[in-house]
A and B are shown apart, each in its own frame.
Chain A
Amino acid sequence: MHLEETADEPKVYSWDKRDKSNVEDFIIDGKKGETVSRLPGSVNGEQIVIQNCQDSNIYIFDHIATVSVDDCINCNIFLGPIKSSVFIRDCKQCRVAVACQQYRTRDCFQVDSFLLCGTQPIIESSSRMKFACFSFNYAQLEQQFKAASLSIFNNNWSNIHDFTPVPEEDVNFSYIPPESKLSDFIPLPEGTEFESLQLSSDSESSLVPQTWGRRRKLSDESCLVVLFNDGSGVERAIRLIQSLKAKNPQCILVQSKEISMQPDDSRRVFESESYITAVQRGPVIGLDFSCDGCVSLCQAAVVELMAGATGVVFVSQSPQMAEKQVEAFFNFADMQMGI
């Protein structure tokens, strides 16, 4: 009898007990010609809603659960790391910089996106969309990426899936030229409250490595470099990218992935038994470089990188093998991630 009575009581869930009195702080609605910002710590992984804004600058310098951007015209929007999805709908002439797990648009026109996306970005009924690689940094950004479970190396910004492709030549999306600067699209906010953040939007100081993506490559030669999880893999990957870029400006990073590999995957991708122990230490970082002579450039750079250090790094042995290895590694990564 007693049991039945308790079963009939409505179950109380965690959200029933939650204080939502400040929900308005997370909704940015109807701004006209204004600048709105949220500083680190103020959003703290909650949801953000942006709607009905016009001619406004909106900056969210924090990690976020999910974001919807609806019915905005001519706005500049910066969104910090998003754990799940950003959904942009019925927007036109907007410029957006965002790092997220999922990027989705519907019924948009002329939205320029500087993007880091952990999965394949999708667009539906959207036209004149432009894409470039996310380039931004501030003091708290790295920590916020971790809070949103995003890897700076898993970026599919240029691999767009269009649900409503048009048969004509004029496709619904294109890529922003690599020499373009984010600051020409989205200005940094001014004011003393931003000083401690040390904001920068130039590609050199970006937390996210700048990748060439699916833009037309300038050279047929590629090289695969894989760094293993020995405690300094991430730091080494960043140093390698920077030193290659500094010494050989023509050498581009086409794509990068951070992914877990099993011993069998390692045998198949590297066609060798040499990396079986290394892959079991944790996710590996794969880098695809391209330029004429890049295999020997990468080999030299890795020798320099590892001077006096222990640990193993995979580098393609020849341009012929590199082509196959790049394909094997990134096909594996895309399959693994369901892309």
Chain B
Amino acid sequence: MGLLSLLRKLRSNPDLELRILLLGLDNAGKTTLLKVLASEDITHITPTQGFNIKSVQSKGFKLNVWDIGGQRRIRPYWKNYFENTDILIYVIDSADRKRFEETGEELTELFDEEKLAGVPVLVFANKQDLMNAAKSSEIAEGLNLNSIRDRAWQIQPCSAMTGEGVKEGIEWMTQACNKKK
């Protein structure tokens, strides 16, 4: 189930061109998600040192997905990719309880970014297939998402590895974009 086939099925705006920014801490599963969206093989994924871009184009759709490495050392470079973002996808490793606070702090900083003001945010509570994963409701509470008033947001449990839950997130994303445009 790739991003394109899904959009076609939803019969969204035929001239839709979206710039999608994928952020999150290192080891959250951003590149795996990127590859799932592009219907690519996910058996061999290397830690991202810079960034990956996937552009998919077909029948009036153009989607540019930017996946930026999440190591602490390279997070200052995230801001170079903010411009003209239509949707921010923020990926969280739901089983990495040690870093819930750290990922929350990074997300809060993103909310304060002028260039991302009003940009809809889809939070993927990824790795739900793992034994130690926290529920998405628990994560939403920890991140205080309910207090967001200045943009559309959604938290979606998923497993990029098995693909479960990804479709629902993308459906929300396209609806959020159609409303915005």
Contact = CB atoms under 8 A, between A and B. Distances in A.
A46 B161 CA distance: 13
Contact of A23 (B43, B98, B129, B132): B132
Nearest to A151: B44
A69 to B, nearest CB: 11
Contacts of B161: 84
Interface in A1-58: 11, 13-15, 20, 23, 26-27, 46-47, 49, 51
Contact of B44 (A23, A65, A119, A163): A119
B157 interface: yes
A70 B98 contact: yes
Given A65-B130, A124-B72, A337 B98 contact: no
A161 interface: yes
Kindly state the interface size class of chain B when it binds its partner.
Answer: 20 to 34
A15 B125 CA distance: 12
Interface in B116-145: 127-133
Interface of A: 11, 13-15, 20, 23, 26-27, 46-47, 49, 51, 65-66, 68, 70, 84-85, 87, 89, 101-102, 104, 106, 118-120, 122, 124-125, 149, 161, 163-164, 337-339
B47 to A, nearest CB: 5
Contacts of A85: 27, 47
Contacts of B73: 124-125, 163-164
Contacts of B147: none
Contacts of A14: 129, 162, 164
Contact of B45 (A13, A23, A102, A125): A102
B26 interface: yes
Given A70-B98, A337-B44, A337-B46, A13 B157 contact: yes
A120 B46 contact: yes
A11 B133 contact: no
Nearest to B157: A13
Task: Give the dominant DSSP class at B's interface.
Answer: loop
Contacts of B49: 122, 161, 163
Nearest to A14: B164
B16 to A, nearest CB: 23
Interface centre among B74, B132, B168 (most CB of A within 10 A): B132
Interface centre among B27, B128, B168 (most CB of A within 10 A): B27
Given A15-B128, A49-B132, A125-B72, 8 more contacts: A14-B129, A47-B131, A51-B98, A87-B27, A87-B96, A119-B45, A161-B47, A337-B46
A102 B47 contact: yes
B165 interface: yes
A119 B31 CA distance: 14
Contact of A102 (B46, B71, B159, B164): B46
Q: List the 8 shortest-distance A-B pairs measured between CB atoms, nearest first.
A: A119-B46, A47-B130, A15-B128, A163-B73, A338-B46, A47-B131, A122-B47, A46-B131
B92 interface: no
